[in-house]
Every structure is written in C-alpha cells, then in structure tokens.
Amino acid sequence: MVSPAIALAFLPLLVTLIIRYRYYLVLFYRAVLVRVIQDCLTGLSREERAFQYVLTHATPGDPDSILDTFDYWCSKIEFISNIGPKKGKVLDKLLKETNPLTVLELGTHCGYSTVRIARSLPIGARLYSVEMDERNALVAEKIIRLAGFDDDTVELIVSPSDEVIPKLREEYGVERLDFVFMDHWKRCYLPDLQLLEGSGLLGEGTVILADNVIFPGAPNFLRHVKRSGLYEYRVHRATLEYIRGIRDGMAELIYLGAK
C-alpha cells in the first residue's frame, strides 16, 4: 500500500495536472462519458438525439433557428463537434466574400455546417456534401430538409471522400469548385487535398477552409500547404467549439493555380 505521506507528496502534482488539463477533462466528460451513458439509456446515437431536440425546438424552414437550436443543444446538453457559432462566423464571412456557385463539403456529420453553408449561398448555387457514415447521413438528410433546402441546393453523397472526389467531374458534372470546406477525419485532409489538386477541379482563387487544424490537429496537411507553393494561406486562431480553453484553428487556403 502507498503510505499517506507519499500520497500527500503527490497531491500538489495531481492538483496542478487537474488545473492545467481541466478543459480536456471537461471535453472527455462531455464528449465521451456522457455520450456512452446516453447511448445506453436511449438506444439512440448522439446525432439522433440531437435531431430529436432540433425537431421539437426549432422552427422548420428557418435555417437560423435550426442552427441556434443546435448550438444550444451542443453547448448545454451534449457535445457534438460542429463548427459552432464562433468559428462559423469565419465560414460565413468567407462565403459572403467569395459568393461561390459550386461548393464541396467533406464531412457532413449531422448537417450543421451544411445548413450554415447552404443559407449563405447565392441563388442557383449548389452544395455537394460528402459523408461516409450512413447513420449520420440519415440524420443530416433530415436536418437539411428540415431547414428548407432541397436536392437542387444540397446534394448529400454517402460515400468515403477519397471515392467521391475522383468522380465529381464525370458522375456529378462538376467542372470547377469555388469553395471547399473540410471537416471530416483529420488524417484525410492531406490525401483529399492532394486528390483535389490532381482532379483539375481547383481553379485560381478557389478557397479551401479546413477546421480543427490545431486540435485535434492536421500537421501533415499544414506542412504540405506551407511547402507546396500552391496556396496563399492563413490560420484563423480560435478555441474548440463549445469548449472554452482548448486552442484550435481553421486554415484558410486560396489556390494560386497549378505550377
């Protein structure tokens, strides 16, 4: 057994670690423990629980109401790693500035960012949103339609991103992408960016916005962006959505054209 004296000696270290990593402990509790407990109690996925809340508390056909309700659920009830309202303003600003007609979203998840993008698009624009998880895609489809967006505005593609990107021109008729939003598996950021570079779908001035490049992080992606010479880029510093105290960032790239 550990003597009380030894245990007491380690107490200041334990307190220091708890204070230093308190936000990560909060994230673990909200994102992991609460999710496991609620999954067992309800028999529903976290995304399905979020949809039920949005369905009963938001105004159908009102994207702003859908997003506000989602934000409340994610900040007060259960954590979901949406882009959130603060980083969402960066996305909103870029969409307003670029006024894109053809947008690709990699990582629909449960449809939050899809609705956020779609509400900012000009008339006649089209958003292709890619989600590989079928269960999440079912939730996203309901959220997108609840917000009032039809297939002519948002096309949801249920498939891995590395299978979709090479087919965008031939199967979906995409000639050029004006805007790309990346918020899927971080390990996919670099290979998917390289697929896009080789696809011929990026044109001079195409904007790519990648979330969570600081936490959980996408170091290989950022390293490629810096070394390739293909982009003007900046990182918008922020905190992790719905959790204060954890530093994060979004990488904004502007494609300069193939060398």
Evaluate if residue 18 carries a pLDDT over 70: no
Is residue 109 very low, low, confident or very high in pLDDT (cuts 50, 70, 90)?
Answer: very high
Is residue 216 very low, low, confident or very high in pLDDT (cuts 50, 70, 90)?
Answer: very high
Rounded Cα gap, residues 21 and 27, in angstroms: 10
> Residue 94 corresponds to which tokens in the numbers above?
């870029």
Mean pLDDT to the nearest integer, 121-148: 97
Per-residue confidence (pLDDT) for residue 110, from 0 to 100: 95
Type of residue numbered 220: N
Per-residue confidence (pLDDT) for residue 14, from 0 to 100: 61
3-state secondary structure 12-48: HHHHHHHHHCHHHHHHHHHHHHHHHHHHHHHCCCHHH
Hey, is 98 helix, strand or coil?
A: helix
Tens-digit pLDDT profile for residues 217-248: 999 999 999 999 999 999 999 999 998 889 99
Evaluate if residue 54 carries a pLDDT over 80: yes
Mean pLDDT to the nearest integer, 190-213: 97
Global pTM exceeds 0.95 = no
Q: Which residues of 121-141 are buried (b: 16+ CB within 10 A; e: fewer)?
A: beeebbbbbbbbbeebbbbbb
Hey, is 202 helix, strand or coil?
A: strand
Mean pLDDT of all residues belonging to the chain: 93
102: nearest Cα among 89, 118, 116: 118
Q: Could you tell me which residues come within 8 angstroms of residue 32 by beta carbon, excluding any fewer than 6 positions away?
A: none
Pick 84-255's CATH classification: 3.40.50.12780, 2.40.30.10, 3.40.50.150, 3.40.50.720: 3.40.50.150
Mean pLDDT to the nearest integer, 52-78: 97
Listed by start position, the domains of the chain span 4-77, 84-255
Active site residues: 183, 186, 211-212, 241
